[in-house]
Structure 1
C-alpha cells in the first residue's frame, strides 16, 4: 500500500473514488457526485460541493476548521492539514486519480483498496429493509443532550436520534445553499424578501422536524471574507487582515452599515414562530465582545418584536474571555449561555484554530479553558441562567464531557455522529456522581480547577 498524503483525521470513515482537485470555489460546479474533494480549505460557499463528496481532503486546517465541522455533520470522511504533515494534498493528488481515504487514521492511499469497496452505508441497510435490527433504548439523563445541525435537509433524519433538541443550528448552510446573495445587496436591488423567506424556510424545516424539542438558532456568524463570497458582497465587505477577529457576530448587528441586514434575520425568526406557529425556535447571539454590544442587539430584537419570554429564550455564545470574566453582567440580558469551545480555546490560548503550525497547542482540555468553563457555570447558575456547550470538544473528547457533567452543566450539544455515545457516557458519569455522593468515597476534585487558586 502506497501512502500518498497524511493529515489530521477530522471526520472518521473510509471511502474510495476519484480525486477532484479544486483550488478555487468558482469551479465547484464542475464537481460530480461521488468524487473526493481535494482543496486548500473549505468555507460556507463550498457546501454544495461538500454535500456531493464521498470524502474531503484539505491542505490546511485543524480539528475545528470548517471542513472538519461540516464533514462530521454530513457524515463523510475528512482529512485536514495535510500540508503540515509533509505533503499538500492539492500537489500530491491529481484530478481523476483513484485513491482511498482512511479518515479514521488520517491517511490517503494510492488506488482503490478492497476493504473500501465492501463498505455498506448505514442508510442503505436501513432503507433496503433486508436487515433487521433490534430497537435500542437509550438512557434518560439529567443533562440534556442536544445536537449540532446546519443543513436543513438533514433535519428529518437527525431528528430521529435520541437528542433533546438542537443546541446549535448554524445559518451558514442556508446562506450558502439557498440564498447565495449578500443581504445588503438584496436590499439594494429591492428583494429583501429573498433573505426572510429563504432563512424562514430553512428554520422551519429544522424546527418542525424537532418540534416540540427546542432548536437554538445561532444568528449569522460569517467572517467578512465569507460574506464577500456571496453575490454582491464585495461592495459591502472590507478587506480584513484577520477576519476571525474582525467584523463578525454581534458587532455587525447594531452597526449602521449592517443593521438592516440583521433585521431581516430577526424577521425570519418571527415568521417561523408567529406565522408557522413553531414556538420551539430560540436564538443565540455569537461573538459578543462587550456587555454594551449585547444590550444593543437585544434592544434591536425588542424593537422588531422579538422579546424574551416563557417560550422564547435568548442565549449568549460564550466564546470570548470577556464573556467569562463578566458573566454576571452579560447574564442580565440573556436566559442562558452556550460555550463555543472552539473560539474560546483559540482566544484563551492565543492560537489560530485554523493554523496547522500551532495546531498542537490548541486543546480544549487545557487547564486555562477548564477553569474558564467551570467559572462560567458557577456564575451563571448563581444568576439562574443555564449553561450549555456547542463546540467540537464534547464530540471529540469524552473526558471533556465528563468534566462538564461533574461541573453541573445543563446540556451539551454534539455532532450527530456523537449523540448516542455521548448520551450513554453522560448517563454513566451521572450515575458515578450519585454513587460517589452515597458512599462519600468519590475522587476529590483537582484543586488546580479553582478559578481563585488561593485557599479561602
Structure 2
C-alpha cells in the first residue's frame, strides 16, 4: 500500500503527471536527467483520493461546491473556499497514509545524514496538482508551498494543508474558467531537501516581455525565492544571450528578504544597506544558471519557467522546480476594443509634420515625465515636448503630438528613427486634446482629427508581388543614425554601409536611469560598464562587420540632472545647450572617472566580445587643446587610433571648421552635426518656434562651412561624414554634399533606401557631366 502512497524522485518522470502531478513529475524528470535538484519524494494522486474517501469528504465537497453558482460572486467564492479548506484540514489523516509519509521522511533523513548532514533534515513541501504545469493550463502559484519544515509531525500537517490548498479561492475560480472538474483534479505533495538560500529567484528560457527565445531571463533577490514569485520584492533582472552568454543586467534595490528560521518556519528581515543595491549573483553564477536553463529547455524541447536557489552553506546553485512557460505557448493577440468609426474630418489641432504616417487611437496627455509610467502601449502621446528621459514612453507610442519644437527637436528626431508618426509645434495640443479622447493623427499633413477616421483603420490591400528591390553600389557611403539598441536587429537588413551615429544617451535614459557619478559613489561602477557595453554590443553585432560609430555621451547638465542622483553633481546653467557638455566633461576632474567607464565599456566590446567594428566620435569639442586632452585619456585607457579603430570628431562648432587642419592631427575623420552647426553659425535656437523659419541647414553660410571642411579634411587625408537631420529631410542638400566630395552621409532608417538611390543618381550625373563636358556650372558661392 505504501508504494502507492509514496514515490521517490528518481522513480518518476513526465509520463507520471497523472500519478504525481506536474511539479513532482518534473522534479523526477530532472533528477533522472542529472540536473542539480534537491532530492526527495512525493505523495501520489492515489494518496489524495484515498484521503478523501477514507475521511468521507467527497460528498461534503460536492455539496459545498454546489453553493457556488457564479464564480464572479467573490463573497460566495471566499465563503465556499474557506469552508472546504477548513473541512479538509480538520479531517483525520488516515493511519496508513500517515505511516507511509513518516517512513519516507525517515529514509530521507538517513540519506541526508549519510551525506554529512546532522539531525533531521529541513524540507520544502510543494503542492503538485495533476492538471498543473501543462502547456495550456498554468496552475502555478494556486496551491501552497511550505518552507523550512522539520520533523515528521510537522511534515504530516503540511501535507494535509497542501491537500486543502487545492481549494484556494483562485484555484477554484481558475478551474471553473478552464472547465476542469474540481474532483477530477488530484493533488500530490513534493517533499524535497531544503536549500538554505542566501539568494533565489526564477528563470525563464525566453524574454517574458516579448517572447524572444534567444535569451535566458533570470530574476534574483536575497533570501528565499517566495518573495520574488509573490512580487513582494523587485528583483535584479539578468538577460543572458544563449549564443554567447553576453549579459544585460538591471540591478534593483532590494529592501527586504524572506529567510529561514533556525528552528523551522520563515521570517522577513531587512536587507543590510551595504547589499541593497548590489548585484545579487556574480556574472559567473548568472552564466552557470543560464546553462542549466538551456539544458532544461533542450531536455523538455520547449521554453521553461524555472525556480532556483543558491545554498549559503556550499555556494551551490540548485534547481527547485521547472514547468512549461505558458504566457507565450499559445498566446493570442488581445482583442481590440470596438471604437466608433467616422468619415467626418473635423480638425482640432494643426502643427508641423515631423515624421510621416497616419494612425488613429486613444490620446494619452502626459505633462510631466514623472507620469510616463501611466502611459499605455499603443496610445498616442500628447505632451509639451519630449526629452531623452521620455524615450520609454515614446517606444510604446503609436504616434506623438507636441505643443512645441521644430523639425530637429527631440520628438521629431526620435520619431523618425522609430518610424512612428509625429506632429510638433501645435502650440496647444495638450489644452485641446482630452486625455482618453479618440483621435486620428495625420502626420503627412500635420493635422489631428477628432475621432477615429475610417481611412486610418481601413484594412490594407493585399500586397502585390513585386520584384526584389536592387540597390546600386555607390562611391559615397550611406550610413544610418541609430539610438535605441533594441532597433538594431530590425534595421540591420537595410542597405546601409554601417552606423554613422549611434547615440549613447538612449542607453542612459532607457536602461541605466542613474547618474554615473552617483553609481560610482554607491559602488556600482560595474553596472555602468556592463549596461553600456551590452547596448554597444547589440548594435555592433547586428551590423558586423560594417562599422558602428558611437558618439560618446553628450547630455547637457539639465538632462544629466534628470537621472537618479544627478542633482548632486550637476550645476545650474543659464544655457545648458552651450554649457558643460561633450568633450569639456571628459577631462574635468568632476567627470573624468565617469568618462573612463564609457571607455571601459567600448574596450570591453572590442576586446571581450571581439567586435572590432565599434569606433567612437567625440562630440562638442570646442578647442584643439580640448581634443588633445581627450585623445590622451583615451590612449591611457587602452583605446588608441589604429587600422581597426577610428576616432572621429563631430564637427558642430564653427571652430571645428575654421581649425579643421589642426584638429586633423588628432582624429581620423569628421562627422558634421548639422543641427548644432546651423544653430551656432546662424545664431538661431533650433528649438525656438519663433525663429524656426531662420534655422535652415541649406543656408549658404552653412553650406560654405561644410564645403570648406571637406576640402580641408581631404587635404590632410581625413574623411568627412554628416549625421545631422538635413540629409534625411532635404534631397537637394544631399546632392550638394556629394558634389562637394563628402565621403559618407548618415541618415535616419526611413531614409536609407531613398538616399541610396539618390546618391547613385547624383554620382551618375556627375560622371555624365564630366564625360560630356556639359552640365550645371559649379557653385562659386561655396568657395571660402
SS at match of 2:580: coil
Gaps spanning 5+ residues in structure 1: where?
Answer: 452-456
SS at match of 1:403: helix
State the match for 1:335 in structure 2: 668
Q: Distance in 1 between matches of 2:460 and 2:603?
A: 42
Q: Distance in 2 between matches of 1:238 and 1:81?
A: 30
Deviation at 1:134, TM superposition (A): 3.1
Q: Could you say if the C-alpha distance between residues 119 and 313 of structure 1 is closer, same or farther in structure 2, counting changes exceeding 3 Å?
A: farther
Is residue 80 of structure 1 aligned with residue 413 of structure 2? no
Normalising by structure 2, report the TM-score.
0.56
Deviation at 1:132, TM superposition (A): 5.0
2:516 to 183, 196, 221: 183
SS at match of 1:146: strand
Q: Could you say if the C-alpha distance between residues 119 and 196 of structure 1 is closer, same or farther in structure 2, counting changes exceeding 3 Å?
A: farther
2:376 to 19, 32, 35: 32
Gaps spanning 5+ residues in structure 2: where?
Answer: 1-344
Greater percentage in strand: 2
Kindly provide the CA deviation profile for residues 172-203 of structure 1, in whole angstroms up to 9, marking residues without a partner as x.
Answer: 11111111110000000000011100000000
What's the Cα RMSD here? 1.2
Kindly provide the CA deviation profile for residues 316-356 of structure 1, in whole angstroms up to 9, marking residues without a partner as x.
Answer: 00000000000001111000000000000000000110111
Is residue 387 of structure 1 aligned with residue 727 of structure 2? no
1:16 to 338, 360, 384: 360
SS at match of 1:265: helix
State the match for 1:288 in structure 2: 621
Is residue 98 of structure 1 aligned with residue 438 of structure 2? yes
Deviation at 1:292, TM superposition (A): 0.6
Kindly provide the CA deviation profile for residues 401-446 of structure 1, in whole angstroms up to 9, marking residues without a partner as x.
Answer: 0000000100000000000000000000000000000111121112
Is residue 89 of structure 1 aligned with residue 429 of structure 2? yes
Q: Distance in 1 between matches of 2:476 and 2:348?
A: 43
Deviation at 1:118, TM superposition (A): 2.1
1:259 to 568, 587, 592: 592
Q: Distance in 2 between matches of 1:238 and 1:105?
A: 41
Is residue 46 of structure 1 aligned with residue 390 of structure 2? yes
1:245 to 557, 572, 578: 578
Q: Distance in 2 between matches of 1:156 and 1:441?
A: 44
Q: Distance in 2 between matches of 1:185 and 1:385?
A: 38
Kindly provide the CA deviation profile for residues 389-412 of structure 1, in whole angstroms up to 9, marking residues without a partner as x.
Answer: 000000000000000000010000
Normalising by structure 1, report the TM-score.
0.95
State the match for 1:152 in structure 2: 485
1:65 to 385, 395, 409: 409
State the match for 2:555 in structure 1: 222
1:195-206 aligned at under 5 Å gives the runs 195-206=528-539
SS at match of 2:665: helix
Q: Distance in 1 between matches of 2:627 and 2:550?
A: 16
Q: Distance in 2 between matches of 1:155 and 1:6?
A: 33
SS at match of 1:405: helix
Deviation at 1:136, TM superposition (A): 1.1
1:435 to 768, 774, 783: 768
2:447 to 100, 107, 113: 107
Between 1:192-201 and 1:2-11, the stretch displaced more is 2-11
State the match for 1:454 in structure 2: none
Deviation at 1:227, TM superposition (A): 0.6
State the match for 1:236 in structure 2: 569
Deviation at 1:4, TM superposition (A): 1.0
Greater RCO, 1 or 2 (C-alpha within 8 Å, sep 6+): 1
